[in-house]
Structure 1
Amino acid sequence: MTDPRAYPLGGRRAWSVYAAAVSIYILAVFHRSSLGVAGLVAADRFDITAAQLSVFTMVQLFVYAAMQIPVGALLDRFGAKRLLAAGVTTMTLAQFGFAFARSFEAGILARVAVGVGDAMVFIPLLRIVALWFPPIRIPIVTQLTGLLGQVGALAAAAPLVAALQFWGWTPSYAAAASVGIVLGVVLVLVVRDSPYPDHELDRIKVRAIARAVRSAWNTPGTRLGLWSHFSAQFGATVFALLWGYPFLVAGQGLAPGTAGLLLMLMTVTTVVTGPLVGGFVTRYPFSRSTLILGIVGAIATVWAVVLLWPGRSPLWLLVLLVVVTAVGGPGSMVGFDLARTFNPPTRVGSATGIVNVGGFVASLSTVTLIGIVLDVVAPGGPSTYTVDSFRAAMSVQYIVWAIGVAQILRYRRTVRRDLRENDPEAYAALRAGRATVPR
């Protein structure tokens, strides 16, 4: 039988398409994370409180989360390349706006637009991975995607701290925004939606999109993926995007350079552990939720030690904290593998969008709660933050973890029971280490 593909799965053409697309994701992670080390500078620039500072990240994450399901549906309708193009264009314009913003309102508008553009990158990138690589390599390439995204987080750590110190706010953010112009050109020239030459996207009508979203939502495996992402991702996201740097500098008394290095260590940890998580998922698909529960338990335990430590924590404990917290990033990617496993290809975009909502709803909630608590216990602003202020504020994470873990346990039981009763072959395959789409 003649192979209908114009290019082989996982070949050189596949990797060139992937490289062009993942470079946009790296830039998106940078834009998303860039406020993490600039929080204290932003508070001075815009003359705002902790709650107002958290609004910058809150609105960005809210827009990102709110757009995930629509983006998943639009992906099924328009394809990955068009959404990536829209995403990089929107992020570039937004970051230029943030570079020149002087008022709190202008800054909020820019962060909203960053969230809009960011929302149109990751899910299309996962679609490219699913179409251009053989199924057995998809979990590993998915983890590689998360790993490479950390290059953006690295650039948003110590290098951005240095840029802000030497160049100032506007030149630093404007230079970062200009990268999007170059990557947009590369996208147009290199990326294509599928290796199939006659691949035509179905012109899905609005009712069909709604049905796909509804079917994906009603699949227990999708909900298990959502709550897995919810529970594992937010700790690292909240720490890297906004509150980790102030916690380390104002709360724990570290020098800015040391705090920046710890944020970079988070990224290095993600790079190292990503392939390990991907390998575990490939070999033990039945135990994916158990892996998530273990990661969440480890993060919560280390945070408990830090928060209960009398006074400021020693450096070795803070190093352990950032390392363990960082593992939640690769761990959260397991949620997407669950969505892919339990949904047919025709609605993977919708299912992935639903899963991606989870972590960012958790992050949005936690960022907001931390800002509110800080304003209550330290109403004088960043200059009055202490270790006790952050001890109270960071404790709100346990509320979010408790909700997520309860839901993981609930839907894990549902998924396993339904599989065992309705599709024993798929259940046996998962137990044997083979991930198949249930009938």
Structure 2
Amino acid sequence: MTDYVRLWFRLVPAYAAGYFLSYGLRSVNAVIAPELMQELNISAAGLGLLTSAYFLGFGLFQLPLGLLLDRFGPRRVEAALLLVAASGCTLFALGTHLQALALGRALIGLGVSACLMASFKAFSQWFPIDRLPALTATIMVAGGLGALSASVPVEAALPLLGWRGVFFLVAALLVLASGFLMTMPDHQGAAHRESFGQQVRTLGSIYSNRHFWRFAPQGCVTVGGFMAIQGLWAVPWLMDVHGATRSEAANVLFLMALAMLAGFLFVATCSGFLARRGISPMLLLTVGMGLALVVELAILLDWAHPSWLWPLLGLSFSLGNIAYSQLTAAFPVALSGRVNTALNLVVFVGAFGLQWGIGAAVDAFVDAGGLTRANAFRATLGVLLVAQTLTFAWFLVPVKRASH
């Protein structure tokens, strides 16, 4: 067994396990939404606020996360945060009112906020740069499998465990994943320490950069909107607009996650091949985001069966992760970690606001506008689609690369 393979088996499964659980927790409320609304007697806006607390906790921790990863290393930071996520799952499982469950959901988001970025940092410490694309793909595949686990498998487990039992089980798995990480080797390289003033100036240089603001609006509204829909509103849409059963809706969610997984594998295995033939990653990103808007329009106007359109939507948005590498290419390498977390902050704050806002808009269209829930969902998606189209148009405006 080569040194690379030996190190791969020591490091990659531990970080992949964390991201698997992270992505599953992001999406699971979509399947259990009917039970939550019935048992807690909450509105669509309340359900949106409850579920989006994950994104708030996740997003707001992105800025300190970069400093913690540099100062203490990815192994310790992620292991500690996974225990926070486990406490959030336990609180969620025990909660009897909206506030307790929202707090539990926010703790879950905070606790899994390092899963992707910690793996990127660890791999950059331990592996040569030419190995990083394949390693990144492995983590994204683990996330795709996590999204799959939050669809049909969770729906099948509900009669046996109930939604509370599912969260107790995930809490136990998070504790195990944290312990698994602590068995990993620790990199002995010198920590990169910055003063608070240097940190603020670095962030200021990112947030004031035109390259950042080319990507940020689309990340916030378009990618954040997809995360809000996938993580909660896809199943209620399918049930209220198309009359699907919860089992049928979970099957569509499973197909969408499967399509996303295929997209991750495509980017990992084919993007380099395509780039050598003149099809750049930026072109793939542009085509993916443009196709996503067309598919959302098709969903809104019911142009085809949901079992075709929703997986195509997932496939389109799987190309959205290319934005991270394309944005960091516009900055010095030393800033790449903070650039990624800065974009992550915008994406997850957008997902938080939109997941809550979609529920509030549906309630408003029903209560004040007199629409049926099906038409209220359609009107809400129409408004979101207009906003996403505007951010896509802004993204298409090129930016001149500044010299470093």
TM-score normalized by the length of structure 1: 0.83
Partner of residue 354, structure 1 = 342
Superposed, which structure 2 residues align to 1:331-342 within 5 Å? 331-342=319-330
1:97 aligns with 2:80: no
Deviates more, 1:64-73 or 1:149-158: 64-73
Instruction: Flag structure 2 segments of 5+ consecutive residues without an equivalent.
Output: none
Note closer, same or farther for the CA distance 1:338–1:248 as it changes in structure 2 (3 Å cut). same
TM-superposed deviation, 1:75: 1.9
Partner of residue 300, structure 2 = 307
TM-superposed deviation, 1:292: 2.1
In 2: Cα distance, 1:341 partner to 1:133 partner = 20
In 2: Cα distance, 1:129 partner to 1:404 partner = 33
Deviates more, 1:257-266 or 1:218-227: 218-227
Partner secondary structure for residue 418 of structure 1: coil
1:78 to 72, 89, 113: 72
Q: Is the 8 A contact 2:297 2:385 kept in 1?
A: no
Partner of residue 324, structure 1 = 312
Partner of residue 388, structure 2 = 401
Note closer, same or farther for the CA distance 1:373–1:232 as it changes in structure 2 (3 Å cut). closer
Superposed, which structure 2 residues align to 1:203-218 within 5 Å? 203-218=193-208
Superposed, which structure 2 residues align to 1:209-358 within 5 Å? 209-227=199-217, 229-230=219-220, 233-282=223-272, 283-284=274-275, 287-309=280-302, 317-358=305-346
Note closer, same or farther for the CA distance 1:406–1:361 as it changes in structure 2 (3 Å cut). farther
TM-superposed deviation, 1:35: 0.9
Q: Percent identity?
A: 21
CA deviation profile, 1:164-211 (whole Å, cap 9, x unmatched): 22322322211121111111111100253x4xxx41212322122223
Deviates more, 1:38-47 or 1:234-243: 234-243
1:58 aligns with 2:52: yes
Q: Is the 8 A contact 2:74 2:119 kept in 1?
A: yes
Instruction: Flag structure 1 segments of 5+ consecutive residues without an equivalent.
Output: 1-6, 423-438
1:390 aligns with 2:377: yes
Note closer, same or farther for the CA distance 1:153–1:53 as it changes in structure 2 (3 Å cut). same
Partner of residue 106, structure 2 = 112
Deviates more, 1:124-133 or 1:80-89: 124-133
Partner of residue 123, structure 1 = 117
Amino acid at match of 2:285: I
Partner of residue 358, structure 2 = 370
Q: Is the 8 A contact 1:269 1:326 kept in 2?
A: yes
TM-score normalized by the length of structure 2: 0.90
Note closer, same or farther for the CA distance 1:289–1:220 as it changes in structure 2 (3 Å cut). farther
In 1: Cα distance, 2:78 partner to 2:206 partner = 23
Note closer, same or farther for the CA distance 1:75–1:213 as it changes in structure 2 (3 Å cut). farther
In 2: Cα distance, 1:369 partner to 1:396 partner = 11
Note closer, same or farther for the CA distance 1:22–1:191 as it changes in structure 2 (3 Å cut). farther
Partner of residue 138, structure 1 = 132
TM-superposed deviation, 1:38: 1.0
Question: What is the RMSD of the two structures over their aligned residues, measured on CA atoms?
Answer: 2.5
Amino acid at match of 2:356: T
Q: Is the 8 A contact 1:228 1:335 kept in 2?
A: no
TM-superposed deviation, 1:220: 4.5
In 2: Cα distance, 1:112 partner to 1:367 partner = 14
Partner of residue 177, structure 1 = 171
